[in-house]
Amino acid sequence: MNLVIDVGNTLTKIGVFNHSGLVHKTNVQQVDFKKVVREIKDDYPLLSNAVISSVSNLEKENIDFVKKRFSTLVVDHLITFPFKNLYETPQTLGIDRLALVAAAVDQYPNKNVLVIDAGTCITYDFKNTKEEYLGGAIAPGIRLRYHSLNNYTAKLPLLEIKSPEDLIGKSTNEAIHSGVIFGVLHEIDGLIEEYCNIYPDLTVILTGGDAHFLSKRLKNSIFATSNFLLEGLNHILSINKNK
């Protein structure tokens, strides 16, 4: 069994896999990290391997805590990935994006796949039928757009995510919701259409914290999954275990 740890910008996500199947998932703050890992170890005594991916900063003592209890792979750009990376600056490529592409290769082999991760940022990552990673795009996420309107203007309020009731906002709050949400939706739909013009047989995966909110509102055909990154990390661990 594998312990999969994804340290994101907001939360740390932890999954337990039995081979390729996810049997447990939880979100945790760093202050509770050791306690939760200890509890998971007690609940799943067959756990022997772990993988850690971090786009934020997981404290060294927490990493060491995991290493003392499991055979641990810390993902970096030097390990083995199941695709050819054609990104021109691979050392700057986020570990989370690499894991998403690994999941795409594992679950959709020999297909053109666009993975859209809707979280703090919205990232777009594309791999082709030859299992080559070509790159993608990075854009502000939904909450980041709300915060930007509040931080960089004198009077616009900070609002929580809300689906607009109408295209035309009849108050400042309604106008913000319309601008942010419809802006994101049209951006995603537009980019998908641009990719489809080049790759008509495109498979689109939507994942990340805002995937469920967006999936019901997008007009393009997509596969929405909340566990794609964890599944990618588990696959990366499986191909690096014996190296």
Please check if 14 is assigned to a binding site. no
16: closest CA among 4, 28, 31?
Answer: 4
Please check if 117 is assigned to a binding site. yes
Please check if 87 is assigned to a binding site. yes
Please check if 28 is assigned to a binding site. no
Please check if 199 is assigned to a binding site. no
State how far the Cα of 12 lies from the Cα of 16, in Å rounded to an integer: 14
Q: How many other CB atoms sit within 10 Å of the CB of residue 66?
A: 20
Look at the block and give the residue holding tokens 């979280």: 119
Please check if 94 is assigned to a binding site. yes
Please check if 10 is assigned to a binding site. yes
DSSP 156: P
Known catalytic residues are: 96
Please check if 123 is assigned to a binding site. no
- In the chain the beta strands, taken as DSSP E runs, fall at 2-7, 12-18, 21-28, 49-54, 71-74, 84-85, 113-118, 121-127, 132-140, 203-207, 223-224
Please check if 34 is assigned to a binding site. no
CB 48 within 8 A of CB 34: no
Please check if 153 is assigned to a binding site. no
State how far the Cα of 34 lies from the Cα of 18, in Å rounded to an integer: 21
Per the annotation, binding residues are: 6-13, 87, 94-97, 117, 120, 172
Instruction: Write out the binding residues for ATP.
Output: 6-13, 120
Binding residues for K(+): 117
